[in-house]
Amino acid sequence: MMNLPELSTLPSTDAMLQQESVRLLIEQFGRSVVLQGIHLILDKIRTEVKDGCPPPGLEIICAQVGQQIHEWFQPSLLPVINATGIILHTNLGRAPLSRETLAAMQTAAGAYSNLEYDLKSGKRGSRLVHAEALLQKLTGAESALVVNNNAAAVLLTLSALAHNKPVVIANSQLVEIGGGFRVPDVMRQSGAKLIPIGTTNRIHISDYEQAVRDHPAMILTAHHSNFKIIGFTTEPELKQIALLAHQAGIPLVHDLGSGAMLDTSVFGLGHEPTVQETLSAGADVVCFSGDKLMGGPQAGIILGRADLLAKIKRHPLARAVRADKLCLAGVSATLVHYLKGEALEKIPIWQMISMDVDFIHRRAERWQAGLGMGEIIPGFSMVGGGSLPEESQPTWLLSLKVGKVNQFLSKLRAMPQPLIARILDDHIVLDPRTVFPEQDQIVVSLLNQALQS
């Protein structure tokens, strides 16, 4: 091995541990981590010296150790400011939660609870009861179950009700929702035997009539969450399919996807079918997400007939996909907003959906004034999250002309509080709708920093 004289000028670990800056690191991060940092940096420097680099001084080496350790402790999951105008942005974590929901989750997280403990009898209770009563009251469903997410809800429902049995589904509904959720794959995983009927663009009630003659275990329907079939298309109403299923003595299971509990069409959007409508149309089991239009934490919610829900709850997979106490606390607190009729005021995504456009305009003006530049232009916000594709709401955007748009966007993403904007016609545009009003000042200051650097 080469033995360069320069290598012997590098400080020893002991010498480094004597340095004031390193002692401070030990206080902050603990000795073991600091030792790991020192070894890593000294190894790196030895290699560099062997490659002909001059050995750095002691202070520089200590600074490198500090930088490395800070990097290790930097959380990778960071809050960001969403100025994209996409309300349920799946990549940005879907629905932000109401204050009351956060408080309920925090309480559940930091204390023991009666999660599976019956306070009346002092005996073992069931975690299933916590959100169930609220869901029953709100939707009229006989029974309810909360699991990890809607993919799990659909998988569990099919596993419990149709393992090794034929399930009828329209070809037009064998869809991919995104993030790897493909209805046919989930069906196969559950052990259900797929019986696709109809064509890609058209399915008639007569197709269902014919299919039920072969005695399938159920009919599955799935909401076209994230796409629209347009042109020469037809699909029977859910009500007709439900009637047919019931005449044949089999259940209709509907994967609703978004789980809206309020009517989106009031806010200039298309109508997203609601949970309540789906149940009244006659679906026997309905599955949907907690963190889409319900505006709560990540969860999958299964509602419906008590006898079917009892089978679903008993299935071994139910244990594998069960909701934790934070989720149950969060789902319950979010549902309370609907029961009290205060969802529009309290649930952030509904505040955004129902935001007054004049208010959006005033905020865009304030941003503009804070920057001393930019133009306010009309634009569109989207619901996103696999809901209401093609549908948008009018909004006002702050549009900025900057030199290199992509470079500017990446500068905004690199800020201590990353700001996510988008490009429109070679301009940077920012939509106040998805930015919390209390973040307005930060947005202005981040933009100013990025413009000046």
Ligand X SMILES: *Cc1c(COP(=O)(O)O)cnc(C)c1O
Q: Which of 121, 120, 140 is nearest to 132 (CA)?
A: 140
User: What is residue 173's DSSP assignment?
Assistant: G
Q: Is 102 left (phi over 0), alpha (psi -120 to 50) or beta?
A: alpha
Residue 23 Cβ vs ligand X, minimum distance, rounded to whole Å: 48
Strands 300-304 and 285-289: antiparallel
CB-nearest residue to ligand X: 257
108-111 contacts, C-beta under 8 A, 24 or more apart: 108/325, 108/326, 108/328, 108/329, 109/325, 109/326
Closer residue to ligand X in complex, CB, 386/432: 386
Closer residue to ligand X in complex, CB, 177/428: 177
In whole angstroms, give the CA distance from residue 261 to residue 138.
9
Residues in contact with 95: Cβ distance below 8 Å, sequence separation at least 6, in sequence order = 88, 291, 292, 294, 295, 296, 297, 347, 348, 349, 385
DSSP 67-82: HHHHHHHS-SS---EE
Residues in contact with 374: Cβ distance below 8 Å, sequence separation at least 6, in sequence order = 367, 368, 398, 399, 400, 401
Residue 287 Cβ vs ligand X, minimum distance, rounded to whole Å: 7
Residue 271 Cβ vs ligand X, minimum distance, rounded to whole Å: 16
Closer residue to ligand X in complex, CB, 225/393: 225
Residue 276 Cβ vs ligand X, minimum distance, rounded to whole Å: 17
Closer residue to ligand X in complex, CB, 55/290: 290
In whole angstroms, give the CA distance from residue 304 to residue 296.
20
Residue 438 is which amino acid?
Answer: E
Residue 51 Cβ vs ligand X, minimum distance, rounded to whole Å: 49
Closer residue to ligand X in complex, CB, 88/141: 88
Closer residue to ligand X in complex, CB, 229/402: 229
Residue 299 Cβ vs ligand X, minimum distance, rounded to whole Å: 8
Residue 90 Cβ vs ligand X, minimum distance, rounded to whole Å: 8
Total residue count of the chain as it appears in this document: 453
Residue 152 Cβ vs ligand X, minimum distance, rounded to whole Å: 7
N-terminal to C-terminal alpha carbon distance within the chain: 47
Residue 383 Cβ vs ligand X, minimum distance, rounded to whole Å: 12
In whole angstroms, give the CA distance from residue 214 to residue 212.
5
Q: Which of 37, 59, 55 is nearest to 45 (CA)?
A: 55
Q: Please identify which residue in the block is written with the tokens 């005033």.
A: 362
DSSP 117-168: EETTTTEE--TTHHHHHHHHHHH--SEEEEES-HHHHHHHHHHHHHTTSEEE
Closer residue to ligand X in complex, CB, 156/177: 177
Closer residue to ligand X in complex, CB, 326/424: 326
Residues that bind ligand X (CB under 6 A): 149-151, 177, 181, 222-223, 225, 255, 257-258, 289, 300, 386
Closer residue to ligand X in complex, CB, 34/168: 168
Residue 346 Cβ vs ligand X, minimum distance, rounded to whole Å: 22
User: What is residue 54's DSSP assignment?
Assistant: P
